[in-house]
Amino acid sequence: METIYLDGQSLTFEQVQAVAYGEPNAPRVEISDEAKRLVTRAADAVQTLLSRGTIAYGITTGFGAFKDRIIPPDQVELLQRNILVSHAVGVGNPFDIPTTRAIMLIRANTLSRGHSGIRLSTLQLLVDMLNAGVHSVIPEKGSLGASGDLAPLAHMALPIIGEGKVNYQGEVISGAEAFKRAGLNPIKLAAKEGLALTNGTTIMTAVGVLQTLRAERFSQTADIAGCLSLEALNGTDLAFDERIHNLRPYPRQIECAGYLRSLLKGSEFTREHESLNVQDAYTLRCIPQVHGAVRDAIAYARWVFEIELNAVTDNPLIFIDDKDEITVLSGGNFHGEPLAIAMDYLAFSVAELGNISERRIMRLTDECSNTHALPAFLTKEGGLNSGFMILQYTAAALATENKVFAHPASVDTIPTSANVEDHVSMGATAAIKLRGVLDNVERILAIELMSAAQGVDFRKQVIGAEKKLGEGTRRAYAVIREHIPFIESDTVMYEYMETMRQLVEEGKVLP
């Protein structure tokens, strides 16, 4: 993936991921020739409207509640500068570099569609910043997710006019200084450009795309963790029989059950039918039903964000017909409701991966719950050693915090701009909460994988070290043991937990 050409219509999840995480060898980003033509045509249309004296929101009027204030022609450029400096009121920690790069890429892509009225030279400068590694410092909080992500996007755009802060080569410096070092030149904005840069769903979309990718990875990781726990607990895979799931034909439940069977294929750690032990606890038996339902939420989120990646979400929008007639339409594509609902749905769904994982950790550490298949708290000399006792506490704390994060942001609203913007999506809040849920689930799954591997080693002492795990779990177990030893006696655990978290984050336990 050497070069990505933006046209506002074909940007993919995989391209966003490559640009976001690929430094210093990220793909170069360019604007397609057709996009250049359409962008130039729309910018020329804005100038035509100005020359005609046409009244158009955000071009010759103020913003929000000032929509009825007419701006004189000689102040149109100042209006666009003012929107950036007045709207750059974000607070909190800045977004990390991968998220910032995704934000800049997605904003450039939507502007490449040619309905926003930005000049090609201004759009090119945003792309040049991305290619040069000049990353705007964008505070995470301040967007209501309704009239677009106004505050954070204003911070993104400030360096274009020589203002704001950027992260350049690992150092936070002024936008003006970074431009000088990178060989770039700030510009004065033309009509409509400040609004085009700040009005849209880009923050929500960037976070949503990156977190949906994480959710996809963690969903597969959770399947592996669940299967490894099942083997450690002498469970049975009979509940994953395809005949069961074909009678309740949710596609992703069926898909999940099939994947679990493939992970456990050839396992000598699972039990066959026993007349006195015919079925496992729900956390093992119902993995396809629970994990499959989470897969549905992830698939929905991907569907939403695949649309949003190539949507035009600022306002007003400029349309030019075959006869070169210009129409300016005010609408509400900046409203983040579809994204907010998708991220809330995804957040409480992924939280369920953490909930069921934590319950499996409990079962691994509680010898009564695991019918004495494993020693109490996965340690040899219980009492002298606490073993994995407190790891389950941590998992429980994280699962509980996720229940707070799972409260939907999209059902809340606070009217703004003198009640002109009287319903907001809170989509940016939903995005930050979603990321928090995934951070916690990442750690819970890490704890389960550590615990399951410890349990497997105890099972080996009973059934024989030569016994084989399933084809999928075998590889995951090997990766764990490459980095984390069997815990013989109490030791400092948090370092192993962090190592395991990194393995989950990087997808190292996946096939």
Q: Tell me the C-alpha distance between 473 and 260, whole Å.
A: 10
Count of alpha carbons within 13 Å of 46, Cβ hemisphere only?
Answer: 29
Residue 185 near residue 373 (C-beta atoms within 8 A): no
* Other Cβ atoms closer than 10 A to 478: 12
Which position has the token pair 């003006």?
176
Q: Tell me the C-alpha distance between 349 and 294, whole Å.
A: 5
Structure tokens at 310: 């190539």
Longest dimension (CA), the chain: 87
Q: Tell me the C-alpha distance between 37 and 156, whole Å.
A: 25
Phi, then psi, of 267 in degrees rounded to 5: -70, 140
Judged by phi (left if over 0) then psi (alpha if -120 to 50, else beta), residue 408 lies in beta
21 is catalytic: no
DSSP-based three-state secondary structure for 4: strand
Q: Tell me the C-alpha distance between 236 and 231, whole Å.
A: 8
How far apart, in Å, do the first and last CA atoms of the chain sit? Answer: 23
Q: Tell me the C-alpha distance between 354 and 400, whole Å.
A: 9
Q: Tell me the C-alpha distance between 80 and 58, whole Å.
A: 8
Among residues 437, 457, 433, 453, the alpha carbon closest in space to that of 499 is found at 453
DSSP letters of 225-249? Answer: HHHHHHHHTT--SGGG-HHHHHTS-
- Of 21, 57, 259, 496, which one is the catalytic site residue? 57
What is the 3-state secondary structure of 135-156? Answer: EECCEEECCCCECECHHHHHHH
Residue 153 near residue 334 (C-beta atoms within 8 A): no
Residues annotated as part of the active site: 57
